[in-house]
Amino acid sequence: MNVAQLKRIINRYLAGNASGKEAALIETWYETALEEAQQTPASPQSEAYRREVLERLRLDMQEAPTGKMVRFSRVRNIAAACIVLLGGASLAWKYQYDILDAIDPVPLETITARAFQVKQVVLPDSSVVILNAGSELSYPRQFRGKKRQVRLNGEAFFNVAHNPSAAFTITAPHLQVQVLGTSFVMTDSSHIQAARVSVKTGRVAVSAETKGFPVTQLTANQELFYDEEDGVVNINRHHEVDLGWTSKQLVFNNATLSEVFREIENLFNVKIQVSDTRIRQLTFTGAFDAGDPLPDMLKIIALSYRLTIQQQKDGTINISN
């Protein structure tokens, strides 16, 4: 969106032809732009423009053709529009992405790592996020303007692409993290009261909406732990970040073989049949790396429980004692 497009939106608003969304947006935006314009030192040229605006407003405040007085709220909006259009093109440019986000928001993508699954996501700016099992990430299909904002519920490793002109912000149930380019693990779920941020490289700023929570800077090998219930914030300044799970594809901790087989079926799009229901109740603890082939996974399970595995011509896998 450029200034010309902004002008067309404002003109539609002043003519009464704007959509409800455009009208609500413009009225809010006008207030902000007007306040900023009043605080900005005026050049002789812009001051001349503003005097012209005031004269136009004086005429607008006279009786309208219908014989009714123009409502003050509309005059105030016209004033802000004129300031932006005539004396504040730079302000229009500054707020262009805020307006565009409200009028034409970028669709969001939501990625969920199922239970036992570790999932990698590449964001529009080439940042890489690895979601741990049961975690969810929401992000726009494209980052617009000077901000990169995502939402996390769960645990994820972030390797953020460096961009000094566009801060990267992660908002989670308890904490918010802002970076320019770094790598770190964030664990923050709506299901638990505690959250943590562990920095691998670079620097991050951690904050929260909770009153009294200090904005905290963390650097490499530092970790912040926050317990919302107790209001406790602890910082470990000598912390080795565990990234072992990030190279995994499936992670199981005392899971039944029924659950293990279901995840393998989903991952490789195969059908697994088990001859004895007691096999399905056996529990398994272990992890498979990203890229591990299906035969290797099945071989590890078979050796662990002395099972026999046979694959039929149609691809179905039979497992028996």
- One DSSP character per residue, 201-246 reads ESEEEEE-SSTTPPPEEEETT-EEEEETTTTEEEEESS-----GGG
**Cα atoms found within 13 Å of the Cα of residue 78, Cβ hemisphere only:** 19
Domain 108-242 has CATH 3.40.630.10: no
- Judged by DSSP in three states, 85 sits in helix
Numbered ranges of CATH 2.60.120.1440 in the chain:
108-242
- In this prediction, residue 211 carries a pLDDT of 80
The DSSP annotation for 255-311 comes to EEHHHHHHHHHHHHT--EEES-HHHHT-EEEEEEETT--HHHHHHHHHHHHT-EEEE
Give pTM, 2 decimals.
Answer: 0.69
For strands 176-179 and 183-188, give the pairing.
Answer: unpaired
- CATH architecture assigned to 249-320: 3-Layer(bab) Sandwich (3.55)
- Which token pair is 316? 């179905």
What is the rounded distance in angstroms from the CA atom of residue 262 to the CA atom of residue 270? Answer: 10
109 close to 136: Cβ distance less than 8 angstroms: no
Mean pLDDT by 10 residues, the chain (321 residues): 61 70 68 57 51 50 43 45 46 58 79 94 97 96 91 97 94 94 94 94 93 90 92 92 92 94 92 92 93 93 93 91 88
Separation in Å, CA 67 to CA 42, 63, 64, 92: 36, 6, 5, 33
In 10 A of CB 183, how many CB atoms? 19
Burial of 36 (0-12, 13-18, 19+ CB in 10 A): middle
- Judged by DSSP in three states, 196 sits in strand
241 close to 199: Cβ distance less than 8 angstroms: yes
- In this prediction, residue 231 carries a pLDDT of 85
Numbered ranges of CATH 3.55.50.30 in the chain:
249-320
The secondary element (H helix, E strand) that includes residue 153 is strand 147-159
- In this prediction, residue 48 carries a pLDDT of 55
- Judged by DSSP in three states, 36 sits in helix
Question: 7: closest CA among 117, 114, 88?
Answer: 88
